[in-house]
Structure 1
Amino acid sequence: MRHGKKFNHLGRSASHRRAMLANMAISLIEHKRIKTTIAKAKALRQYVEPLITKAKNDTTHSRRTVFSYLQNKEAVKELFGEISNRVADRPGGYTRILKIGNRQGDNAEMAIIELVDYNEFAPGKSAGSKKKRRRKKTTSKPKAEAAAEETPVVEEAAAEAPETTETPDEKSEE
């Protein structure tokens, strides 16, 4: 029985799961957005959000604590530098999970997990791109009368155009 055991084991041993989440957290910190399955994204959110909270307090102890999780100097430097400055006034909720459909090969539910303050581009619908349905404009005249009025206009435009003796094929050869 697994009563009271809340986190997802993701079908891996503890050491494999810890290494995978650390690698995914490093990728998220470096690239600001990664594509993965929904289950891994939810597990990664629980893993990386406490690290970002710890990065808001830039002390030697918090740097060493975060480094013990990530084992990557560049990721720690990025986390305590740029990312902690962007999320300084945010009380939590540093990541966003966007569902993007199912994977072609095994039909796994896929998602994009991204840092919230780095949302220059978000796939899917944006706030201003709402589609509107428009009806076709109809005229009060019947179709036969409208077609009869349009044809003389076309003929007049053709009559006003200067006539040339050369065909388009002859012009291109010169």
Structure 2
Amino acid sequence: MARPPARQFVGSTTPQVQPRKRAARASGRAPPLGSEKDPRYTRSALMLEVLRNAHFVVIVDHMAKLVRVTRTAEPFESLEQIEQKCLELIAALDLLDRRTMSLFLDIRAGPPRNDPEFEEATRRLRIAAVRGFARIAVLVQTSAGALQVRRHGREDGIDHLISDDEHELLAYLAAPPPRRR
């Protein structure tokens, strides 16, 4: 007696053939990690955590073209640590095509701090972290936080929307850019 086939196809007499995934580009280089051209990832897996440390979590949603940076509640212990952790953040963001992506900064959990040493240490790091993104939105918890972020934006020459309403900010980032004249 013959054994039944290992697979039975319901509703069809021919097996369903899955399309072959494309190999690496003709140049021999693999497509960018997590990009739609990367055969290792499906559309549902295009949301990737690209950085996690004690102070920041960075998640990239390639479908929405959105980078979400979340500040944790962990305080910085020194100005050197601020520089080190912010440089890690900048390095993670530098791997992205910023021109095509929006940046969502959630700083609600970050401990409030505005001493002169902190302000000076973070100014160039702030600019390096956010430069080049198509749109920037900042989620704050308090009106004092909104005032500080507004002042930083003015000093740094950065345009962004500030709010304590996450849905408002995500709608802003998802909207098509205004037409240029």
Query: Normalization by structure 1: what TM-score?
Result: 0.23
Greater share of residues in strand: 2
- Of the two structures, which has the highest relative contact order with CA contacts closer than 8 Å and spacing of 6 or more? 1
Greater share of residues in helix: 1
